[in-house]
Structure formats: structure tokens, C-alpha cells
Structure 1
């Protein structure tokens, strides 16, 4: 280890600039590789430095083909791509060893045609210490109690009520006051005397992956850097950290403290019997990282949605009795050109069901759900802040991101990065803008296509159950098409970083899916039956009569569509999430078993078992499914008040399915850091705002709430005769029959009555009053409720105080006054070196940290001069 640059002081490990190794150091983005003597491609680390298991595994498959006689006409350069890949692989492995990683190569010959190579990578202590400071990892200063972050558990404990949702999970991670890691203060941190356990597994994985992402394998001008591009090129087939043992429980009973972390997660989280219990979020974060843990924390909070109950039953009974006991009194006009007349008493069963959704309680429930949506988002911001501080990622900021592998491979030119000062692939902003505008036009065209195609199909089918089921199938098929199209458009736009690429892809997919899933309910709610006309003067489009609502009205059809689309999608998605990972894992195991034959080991090694698992597919599909569900329970809750109940049941199932995928089916993902759910929170806020307006229009124009209210005010408070009042006789000119009725507020000549104009004014006034009152209350809640709890602010101040006490001493604060300083009361000419935790309390002209002790250049930030130099011990 003395040959490593961090093992021999500030000047250790320096390489002659004329040497080829130094060239690789210059070509590596962001630094992070230190050239050593390059061993051969099959060399391994010395046994005394070799890790027993490894932090990371690289896998590549080699096809063994028998030598064939070369034809005379065969071009001599046919073998060059394969040779180039081998050269890249050799250089990449040499640079990894030059970066200080320990390697151990395992070769497994499966058959005469294929060999699988496993390369285990481990980071020694000096590499971990260096990158811990480079990546600003948090180090423990002082232990503190680790209470459960469940508000309901705290309330029940204060009320002395037993909590069946609480479970005692063994091996709970400890909680500490932390600050940014500094190698020079290593002895001040807890546990620094135990090098084997000081860094957690997820921290070691993150550090090794950072080295893999920075290491170059080819020419700099071709952006041949990082493991991600090597995976895209097919040079490596997999790169993943290892699971910590099997997830199956041992056959014999063992204490919970002796279970490995994966078994703890499976036994206390992923099993179906844990459906009603709290999630062990600290264990999830300790094993999978903050990004995945925050997703499951957010998913668990969405279970707070409730369901509604019918109200005002006596008034509803009067309306139901009027329809069901009408007999043949009300003969209705045909609903289409080929339909027959019908009697209103025939819709008695449908009217009974419709009154469960269309009653005055629906209005109050819509208001409640609007408040619930915003209150939930406010509550989640506070919960997210608590979890981010608890998991030491509140002040986390993304490092300067490297260009994506696809961007680096296809960028037409090179430009200097204004932040890092390094030349990297560049795509002109004007060209990207033109591509974005072109892609937006494609989005508009694709969004309009399903709308135009859905209207005639809905007119022909009458929006019955069978047509809605067919519509659901088409929606699910188009969902795959839209996702593929959005991915191609986003790649074509050439976004530089992975974050920009994911954000653009997320917005495109959400717009596509929003129209795909919500266009049919929007049509039924706001367009169907609005342009029908009246008998003798029916409105037509392209020679076809405009579609009217069914006998039960448009609201019952809307509730039917929402039920089938929402619940049907939930069922199909859950079946896919349950079967597809198992089928992919079975296919992977069968593929390896077929080539292994009789060479299957009786005791497969850990890296072999993990390679048989499937690659983690990320959280995009999971977030998208939950966000669309959030739209169903907020936007259309006035038409389908039972949507929150089905969402609650689905979330219980979703948590267990996702937990089983991550624990049992997926390879262990890299433990990425994150402090929030990203762009999805902005989308949720937009949906919450849209839901207020949509619910106002649904109550005003689709439901019978306002017509009933006006009738009660002007005619009868018990709604006697209301059904007859809402019907109008067909005009005398109607050739079919002048004794039939149709639902409208018109006179015998077809003109609107005065009641219709009064009702229209009330509807418009209700929409304005509804959205103004709700938005005002929501803004008031947002203003009154702080995003960070007061108790958390105290903890943050306490942590900063402890960090200042632990890291600030006489040896760390050096004040050097230059001889040409103008006066003792000014900062000009002074150079101060202070700990990182004291940067907010001093006013130096330039700051340098302990990174200078490692020979790492630091671009200091010039601060404005202060009138008085603060008093500090020297």
C-alpha cells in the first residue's frame, strides 16, 4: 500500500508526466484514478490484500469458438472489433488496479462454447478514506436514540393503546450525530479504530461504483470512460454489488440477531404476513440506500387515503321511489337513431346504484379529498425532511455529473466544461432545442390521435362494460407504445446528463399516460351528451348523431369507466409484477443450467447465485403507476368516491410485491443517495391543483347536485316531483312521437327555460367560489405549516454544534496575515484555513481544507471582505 498516492504523503504516487500512465490520469473525468505499475490482464491482487468476498463484481461471458480456416476473400480486419474490446477491457482493469482497487478473478468454464468470468473488486482502507472525503460522506460523532419515525405509533403510545402494526425488528441500525468526513480528524469519529466495520456495505459499494464510473478505458476524445458505456457496448454483461447472503430462512431456528440483513428484510418486510405492519425503513436504507428507501417511505404514506360513505339517505329514498314507482308514466325518447322508446322505470336498479355516487355527500368528500391531497403533500415534505436528516442526506447535492454513455458516443464535438474545466462531449443547445420542438409536435399528434379514435368507438358501443374492457386493453397496449416512443424521442434530444435525460423522459411518459388513461373519463364527464340537441333537431357530426348518455346518466357511466380502468390496471400491473420477474429469473437460471450441464456446483458461490438473478429495473415504472393512481383518487373522486379505498388495497399489495422483487428477484442495486422523490413531487403537486378544478366542473355540470339544490330552494325541499321537472316533452314537429319525454330544461318548442339559465349562472358561480375557497385554504395551509418541523431544526442546530466542537481546535485554525495587509480591521490579504463545519462562521478571503494535505488542488472561493476580522484562537 505504500505505492498508493495516499500512503506516502502529499507527493506520494506522483507519476512522470511523460509516462503513458500519466496520460490515463489526465483522461479520467473528475480525477479519481492514480496510475501504478500495470500488471497483466489476468493478474490478481496479492493474497494478503485480497478481500474474502468483494464489494463489487464484474461479469463477462466469452464465447469459445473452434478455429476455422480463413477464406481467401475474407477481409483481414474482421477480428478487429473483438480485439478492440479486449484491449479496452485490459486497459480498464489495469486502470482499476491503478486506482487502488483490489481484484480477484474467477473463471468458470461452463461448456465448450462459453466461459463466464467473474472479477471481484474490493476497496482497501486508504481508498475508502480518500473517497469518503472526496464524496462528502457523513461520519458519526455521537450516538443518539433512534426512535421509530411513525407518527401513529407515537400517538397510540401516548394513549396507552396497543399497536398491532408495530414489530420489533432485530439488528436495527444505530443513529448518530454526523458531519462531513475528514481524514485528518479520523480519530474524532466513532468506530474509527475498527477499519473492517467503519464503512457500511452501501458506502463501500458507492465508493467502488464511483471509481468504476470515473475510470477510463480508451481514448479521451472518444469519451471512452466508465463502466456504464462498457455495459452498453456489451464488453461486460453485468456489474453489481453482492447480496449479503441468501434470503431464505435457515431450517433450524436461530435468534433474530444472527440473521443476515437480507433475511431480516425478507422475514420482517417482504412476506405477505407483514401487510399490516410498519416497514423497517432504516433496514431498507441500510441495505438498498436512500433512493430506494425514500420510495418505500413515500409509498407507505400513500396508504392514508380513505373511502367515502353514502349520505343524505332519506332524500335519496324519495328520488329512488319516484323513479321505481313511476310505472309507465314517463315514456322516453329513443337514445339513438335505431333505438326504441323506453320507460324511465326500467332504470330503477341503475338509479339505486347511481345515487350512491351522486348525492350531496359527494361534494363534501370532493372538498375533503382536495384538502387531503395538499395536506398529504405537506405532510410528506415534513416526513421527507425528517428522513433526509435521519439518513444524513439533507444537505446532499449531486456531484458534477458525467455525460451519459449514449451522449458521449454520439456527441458531434468537444467543448470545455465551465465547472470542471475539462473538455467533454458537447451537443449544441440550438440543435437540441429544435429537436425538443419537433418532439413536442410529435407528442401533440400522438395525443390527438387516441382522442379522435376514441370518440366514434364510444358512440358505437354506448360505453357499456364490454366496450370499457376493450378500451382498457387498448390503453394497456398503447401504454407500451407511448413509453417506447417517449424513450426514443428523449434519446434523440441528446440530453447531456442522466438526470436531465430522466426528467425529460418522465415528463413525456407522464403526458402520454395522462392522455392515455384519462381521455375516456374526460370524454364521458364533459363531452358525452353535451351536444345532443333535442328531438327533431339532433346535433350531428359527419352525418352521425352525437352520442347521448345512457339511461342512467353520464355520471354512472363515468363511475363505471373509472372502476374498470383503475381497478383493471391495478390487477394487470400486480399480475405483471408478480409473474414477469419470476419468469425472467427462471429464464436466466435455465439459460445458465443448459450450458453448465453436469458442471453445476453442489454449493454455488455467492456471485454465481447473484448473477442468476435479474438486473434491477429501477423505480420509474413504480413511481409512474402510483402517480397515475394518485390522479384517479384526486381528479375524479367526485364521480368515483370509492377510488381511495381501492388505492389503499392496491398499495398494501404493491409494497409486498416490490419488496419481494428487490429482496428475492433482483440483483442488489447500487445504493444511490437521494434526499427526495425528485420530479415526481412536482407532478403530484400539479395533479393536486388540477383535481380542484376538475372536481368543481364535475360537481357543477356532470352531477345533479346543483339542479336538485336549486329545485329544493324554488319548489320543494323534499324533491317531490323533481324527476318530472327535469323532463321535457318532445316538440310538435318531432315525427317519431309528440308524447315522449327527454331529459332537458326546455319548453315544448325546444328553447331553454328560465330555470336552465338560472342553473347555468349558479354552476359558473359555484366553480369560481369552489376553486377560490379551496385554493385559498390550500395556500393558507402551505403558509402555516413549515416544510421542516421545529423539532428537526433543533436537531440540526445540535448536530452543527457538536460538529463544531469536535472538529475545531487550536491546530485547525491558522490565521496568516500577509505583510502588505492594509489594516488589522480588514480581511484583505489574509488566508485562513478552517474546518468545513466552520465555513459559515468566519469571513476569510480564501478557504483551503484538509484536501491540500493530500496534494489535491482546491479551487477556492473568494469571499467579499469583511470590516472586522472575527476573534479566533491561534
Structure 2
């Protein structure tokens, strides 16, 4: 086995010919280089350890998903056995070398991928840049029933026919229709519709090539073993230029995003986030306007105790009612928009089509239910232990939060009212929220990984619930304490704690803004450090050329999911809905922060991170449930604030306050539920469109006519005549039946 990797996997720097001006690869895999290279002066130390001969072949088998009968794998397995022959151990470096050589052969011979292999300037990474031809993409699309959109028909002029149906790619159906009409839509290399283009957009190519890759090599195991260092699709700088001018800029912050363009590049999962955030921003304008008006009235009116209800107290009540009902309108409007987007993008039933996560642990074999090769995991007894441990971890960190709050409030209670003590305590509280969120997230990720969820949506939902359950307590517990308990146990500066609650909320907003600015700068700083280190190493090695395009992208940070972005925005939504009446300008501040958040998140995706995988998703997932829960809790919180904390009705008896609170809170709950029922989640046009699409899909792909008369005529479906037919005299039978009936009477 040669040690010099350059003889096995060619370094592109050896080529004299220049690459094409524009060459967009479908997918890039970055492997750690297991070969020692004299030319580069590189010696691999990452795999300098031994593996027992008994486990070597088993370990090697885990790297692949292909059958053991495949020729490339059999040849590699034979070479592994030859290395083991007569030895008790084998170097891990040899296993990785054999894997890399076998993978290259499988990509080229089995998957028929066009593979361009380059070596990093420092010689420590191999870049496998993959492209598939159209014909092979069609084969994979047929194998996995990949959904594509059909061509529209001229006579489809009804509202629910405006979105042409989606259906699984069928190569036979396409070939049949090619003589008369092309079944599927076609696109140019920028994703624009064209009569003579590819049936695949670039995001479709990425998904299909990834599906091909994951069908032959075990990406999760390779990442765990530190063989696969990174994987990402390549950025298209032509489209990034468009985004830079039209999307990231603050010059047009009031305009709607081009959500279709975003979807074509980043996929439905990320696009759903930006569509929801835009929907939330537009909703915030209403409570921002009313909150600013009410806030001016509240702070201008006499806020001290009085025998009659003043203008400020009326505004408190109206604003609490507006926030409680308005939050229901927001989630119902989004649910309808979400269904429309899912219908337009063909992802309404995507849940049943999810593939397994690469990190999912199991034995790769044929699934008896689906008939496909997949990892099968048998649930064991310790799965219950995992759930118990996860719950215990949440309880432990909630206890830490409570202990931190007790310490902060104890410090504030023992500080002088005229000192900076209360302000410092508020600042500590805001910082504590951020720090504990960061620590807990790392632990929650480890726990969720351990629980071994099969699909990405299951994994993300489990992680989201863990994180939000903790962050809800961490973010809001201090505010609940000030709102409902501080006045009783410590006392407040005024007769109620509403102003102190608003002050604490304002501090949280300011600290959050400052920490967010730091968070924005972290990707820039991290990318700068990564490139600085690479350029320093290049200078030390006297390299004559700079980093390649793929190596520059590799040095960008990886954007995992929009989970953190959702969490940050929805925690802010909770501040508005739960405690907004204590600080009426909070929706205005939240609106300002969300406008910044949208542009910053867009900037991160096109400037600071590798291109994300264009994952499919039909909704914002469990987040809509969380939003609805916050909305209902907010209704109770708002009624509690105006009844107990602010006491806008000047009720002196605790019993009267409780009766008033229960009446208002139950009335709001009933009204919110009526609105939820009255405003249907799915628009009628979407329901009709999906039913029509199902019918048309059957007609186009399988020739299944929905019109029963056309079906009868086309297939000559007529009932066969009976050889013998019974004869009846209906008048005689009727007379006899009537006579028998009278006799019985």
C-alpha cells in the first residue's frame, strides 16, 4: 500500500489545464486525509492507533450501506483480510485509506457520479466534488419517488388549479408522454422555468445526489469516526449576488421577501422560518401602534391610587384584551398561510416521505414494511432510562434557575432603594438567562442524540421541547415573581409592581439587544480566525497559490438548523404576549429587533455560513403548538396583571379579585377557542387543490381516469349479462304485501 496519497487521489494543483469558468457541484464531501504525503510534507496522525483484527472488518463494514456482494466492497474486504492475515491488530489508518479508495470506486462505478478530487493546500483534507448527469438523477428520483411538479394545462383556470399538481417521478410515464407533451416542468440553471431545460432545480439535484451518497456510505458513522469532516452543497454566487442586493439590505426592509426565490435556494424548511418571521413582523405592527398610543396615555395619566378608574387603567384593560385576542388571530392566520405555502411547494404530505438521519443508529437491512434498505433499531429497556434522565436534567436545571433567582432577589432586597442595587440585579438576571440557555443547550443536544431519533423532524421536535421547557422557566420566572409575588413578600416602590415589571422587561430588552449584537459578530470573527489560521499555515508552507473556492467555503461555519433563530424570536414573542401590558412599548421594540433579526439571519446564510442542505418541511413544526400555548398562557397572565397586580377595577376584596379574574380569563379562553374554530386552519382553495391534484396525478402517471363514464368507455368496463333472469310481476307482489299487512292489523 503506497503511503503517498497523491498517487491514489490526484491533487488538482498538478493539472495544467484551468477548470471551467462556472462549475457548480451538486455536493461536496470533505474527508480527512489518511495518506502520508512526502510532496506536501503531511503526515497523518489522526488515525495513528490500532484496531483489533477481530473488530477491523466489522468496523470497516459499518462505513458502508451497500451489499457485501458489490464488487468494490468485496475487493476492499479482501485487502483488509490480507492486512490482518497473521496479525492481532491493524492500523486504523489502513482502514480509512481502504475506505477512501473503495468509496471513490463506488461513486464512479456504482453511482456513476462525476467525481473531482482535490487535496487541500496543506494536504490534510480531500475534497470530493460530485456531479450527477440528468439520466442518473432520474434513476434515483424514480427509486425514491421524488416529487416533481407537473406542467400546467391551458384549461386549468379555476382557483384551485392555479398550482399544478406534484407527483412522484416516473421514468416510464415521462417516456410515454415525451412524444406528445412533457409531463414535468423544466428549469434553467438559475431555477427559472424554461421550455427546454432540466426537470430538476439545483436544490433537487442536491437532494438526489445526497440520497445517492447516503445509500452507499454511512455518513453518521463516518462523522463519528472523524473520517468525514464536513459535507455541504456549493454556493451559487450568481444567486447570492441577487440576495445581497435585494434581501439582506435594509433599504427595502418594508418590502415582502421573495420567498419563492429563497425556497428555490435554501429549501422549504428554512423558507418556512423566514415566511413565519415576516408574518410575525407584519402582525407586530398592530400592537406596536396601539401599544405606543396606550403607553403615552398610561404614562401621562395619573397612575397613583384613586377612587375611580382613570384613562390609564382603561388603556391597560383594552391593551390586555388586544394582546390576548390578537395572538390568536396571528397563529390562525399563519396556519392558513403555512398550508398555502405547503400546497404551492408540494410538501403537504412530506412527513411520510422523510429519510432516516445519518446519525440514526441501527443495523442496515431490508425493512419488511417498506421493502427498502434502511437502518433498523430495536428499542431496548434502557430507552425508558433515557427519558427519565432527560426529565431529571430539565428538573435539575430548573432548580439551578430558581436558585439563581433567589440569590439575585436576595441581593436586590438587601440593597438600598436609592442605590444601583435593583438595576444591577436586573442586569445580572438578563445575563444569567443568556448564560444558562447556552449551557443547557449543549446538554440537551447530547441527551437528544442519545435518544436516537430516526427522522430529522422527530429529532428537532424532541430537542425543541427540551430547550423551550427550560428557557420558558429561565426567561420568564423572574418576571412572574415580580408580577405576582414580589409585592406580597418584598413590596414594590409603588402600590403595585407593574412599573417595576416594565422596568425589568426593558432591561432584558436592552441586554438582549447587546448580546445579540455580540452574537452577530461571532460568525464574522470566527470566519476571520479560520481564514487567518489557514493563510498563516499556507505562508509557513510557502504555498504559491491561495485557497480554492471549496476550501474557502469549508472554512465558513456550519449553519445547522433555524432552531436557535426560532427560539430567540419566540421567547421575544412571549415577552410581548405574557407581560406586554407592563411595558406597552415592548411590541415596538420587538418589531425593531425582528426587522434586524430577519436581515441578520439572511446575511448569515449568504455571507457567513456554508450553504445549507435544502431540507424539506411542510410547516414550522412543534413551534406552532408552542406559540398557541404561549397565547393561552398570555390570556391568563394579562387578566392576572390587570386584576391582581394593577387592580384596575379597584377591588379591595381578594374574593372579588378572584371572581373577576376567573370571569375575565374564562371569557377570553372561550372567545379564543371560538376564533380558532371560526377561522379554519386550511383554506378551502388548498383543500380543493389537494383533492384535485390527487385525481390529476393518477390520470397523468397511471392513466387512472376519475370520470367514471370515461373510465368505463376507455377500458370497456361493462357488466356481464346473466344467463338466467328471474321474472316478477311487481303489481301482484305489491297487492299481496298490502293484503298481508292488513290481515296482521
Q: Is 2:115 the counterpart of 1:89?
A: no
Deviations 1:194-243 (A, max 9, x none): 78532110000010111122213xxxxxxxx2x23323322122211111
| Structure 2 residue aligned with 1:136 | 146
Alpha-carbon distance change, 178 to 487 in structure 1, aligned in 2, over 3 angstroms: closer
- Once the two structures are superposed, the pairs formed by residues 371-450 of structure 1 within 5 Å of their partners are 371-399=325-353, 401-402=355-356, 404-405=358-359, 407-408=361-362, 419-420=370-371, 424=375, 426-450=377-401
| Structure 1 residue aligned with 2:528 | 586
Alpha-carbon distance change, 117 to 146 in structure 1, aligned in 2, over 3 angstroms: farther
2:558 partner SS: coil
Alpha-carbon distance change, 600 to 771 in structure 1, aligned in 2, over 3 angstroms: farther
| Structure 1 residue aligned with 2:683 | 789
Alpha-carbon distance change, 191 to 635 in structure 1, aligned in 2, over 3 angstroms: closer
Distance 1:315 1:612 in 2: 52
| Segment drifting more, 120-129 vs 378-387 | 120-129
Distance 1:526 1:295 in 2: 34
Q: Is 2:188 the counterpart of 1:179?
A: no
| Match of residue 651, structure 1, among 591, 594, 597 | 594
1:699 deviates by 1.6
Asked if structure 2 preserves the Cα contact closer than 8 Å seen for 1:55 and 1:205, the reply is yes
| Structure 2 residue aligned with 1:612 | 555
| Match of residue 682, structure 1, among 625, 645, 648 | 625
Asked if structure 2 preserves the Cα contact closer than 8 Å seen for 1:53 and 1:120, the reply is no
1:359 partner SS: helix
Distance 1:810 1:680 in 2: 39
Distance 1:666 1:320 in 2: 50
Q: Is 2:119 the counterpart of 1:118?
A: no
1:298 partner SS: helix
1:451 deviates by 1.1
1:456 deviates by 4.2
| Segment drifting more, 290-299 vs 548-557 | 548-557
Q: Is 2:314 the counterpart of 1:360?
A: yes
Alpha-carbon distance change, 52 to 802 in structure 1, aligned in 2, over 3 angstroms: same
Asked if structure 2 preserves the Cα contact closer than 8 Å seen for 1:144 and 1:176, the reply is no
Q: Is 2:251 the counterpart of 1:300?
A: no
Distance 1:496 1:179 in 2: 25
| Structure 1 residue aligned with 2:507 | 564
| Structure 2 residue aligned with 1:208 | 209
Distance 1:393 1:530 in 2: 53
1:652 deviates by 0.5
2:114 partner SS: strand
1:126 deviates by 2.2
Distance 1:402 1:779 in 2: 37
Asked if structure 2 preserves the Cα contact closer than 8 Å seen for 1:59 and 1:238, the reply is yes
2:97 partner SS: helix
Structure number with bigger Rg: 1
Q: Is 2:393 the counterpart of 1:473?
A: no
Asked if structure 2 preserves the Cα contact closer than 8 Å seen for 1:138 and 1:178, the reply is yes
Asked if structure 2 preserves the Cα contact closer than 8 Å seen for 1:105 and 1:117, the reply is no
Asked if structure 2 preserves the Cα contact closer than 8 Å seen for 1:42 and 1:105, the reply is no
Q: Is 2:438 the counterpart of 1:487?
A: no
Superposition RMSD in Å:
3.8
1:295 deviates by 0.7
Alpha-carbon distance change, 590 to 60 in structure 1, aligned in 2, over 3 angstroms: farther
2:624 partner SS: helix
Distance 1:382 1:397 in 2: 18
Asked if structure 2 preserves the Cα contact closer than 8 Å seen for 1:696 and 1:770, the reply is yes
Aligned residues, how many?
621
Asked if structure 1 preserves the Cα contact closer than 8 Å seen for 2:149 and 2:346, the reply is no
Asked if structure 1 preserves the Cα contact closer than 8 Å seen for 2:9 and 2:117, the reply is no
| Structure 2 residue aligned with 1:189 | 183
| Structure 1 residue aligned with 2:658 | 764
Distance 1:435 1:292 in 2: 30
- Once the two structures are superposed, the pairs formed by residues 279-290 of structure 1 within 5 Å of their partners are 279-290=257-268
Asked if structure 1 preserves the Cα contact closer than 8 Å seen for 2:639 and 2:661, the reply is yes
| Segment drifting more, 96-105 vs 780-789 | 96-105
| Segment drifting more, 194-203 vs 633-642 | 194-203
2:152 partner SS: strand
1:424 deviates by 3.9
Deviations 1:272-326 (A, max 9, x none): 2222221110110111111111110001011121321455999987846889xxx
1:788 partner SS: coil
Asked if structure 2 preserves the Cα contact closer than 8 Å seen for 1:435 and 1:492, the reply is yes
Asked if structure 1 preserves the Cα contact closer than 8 Å seen for 2:266 and 2:612, the reply is yes
Alpha-carbon distance change, 207 to 41 in structure 1, aligned in 2, over 3 angstroms: farther
Distance 2:452 2:704 in 1: 52
Alpha-carbon distance change, 669 to 182 in structure 1, aligned in 2, over 3 angstroms: same
Deviations 1:340-368 (A, max 9, x none): xxxxxxxxxxxxxxx99x62211111111
Asked if structure 1 preserves the Cα contact closer than 8 Å seen for 2:411 and 2:425, the reply is no
| Structure 1 residue aligned with 2:30 | 59
Asked if structure 1 preserves the Cα contact closer than 8 Å seen for 2:107 and 2:115, the reply is no
1:87 deviates by 2.1
Segments of structure 2 that go 5 or more residues without pairing to the other structure are 1-6, 12-16, 51-86, 187-193, 414-420, 713-718, 722-745
| Segment drifting more, 770-779 vs 183-192 | 183-192
Deviations 1:718-770 (A, max 9, x none): xxxxxxxxxxxxxxxxxxxxxxxxxxxxxxxxxxxxxx4xx322211222211
1:667 deviates by 1.2
| Match of residue 278, structure 1, among 245, 256, 259 | 256
| Structure 2 residue aligned with 1:501 | 459
Distance 1:550 1:645 in 2: 26
Distance 1:634 1:315 in 2: 18
| Structure 2 residue aligned with 1:738 | none
Distance 1:505 1:318 in 2: 46
Q: TM-score if structure 1 supplies the norm length? A: 0.65
Deviations 1:600-656 (A, max 9, x none): 537x65423322322223211101101111111111123222221111111100011
Alpha-carbon distance change, 457 to 119 in structure 1, aligned in 2, over 3 angstroms: closer
Alpha-carbon distance change, 125 to 558 in structure 1, aligned in 2, over 3 angstroms: same
1:778 deviates by 1.4
Asked if structure 1 preserves the Cα contact closer than 8 Å seen for 2:24 and 2:236, the reply is no
1:132 deviates by 2.2
Segments of structure 1 that go 5 or more residues without pairing to the other structure are 1-39, 150-173, 217-224, 246-259, 324-354, 532-546, 711-755, 816-822, 826-874
Q: Is 2:582 the counterpart of 1:601?
A: no
1:676 partner SS: coil
Distance 2:705 2:327 in 1: 53
Distance 2:228 2:433 in 1: 37
- Once the two structures are superposed, the pairs formed by residues 822-841 of structure 1 within 5 Å of their partners are none
- Once the two structures are superposed, the pairs formed by residues 327-338 of structure 1 within 5 Å of their partners are none
Deviations 1:402-433 (A, max 9, x none): 3652634xx9x999775558684535353211
Alpha-carbon distance change, 560 to 420 in structure 1, aligned in 2, over 3 angstroms: farther
Asked if structure 2 preserves the Cα contact closer than 8 Å seen for 1:202 and 1:287, the reply is yes
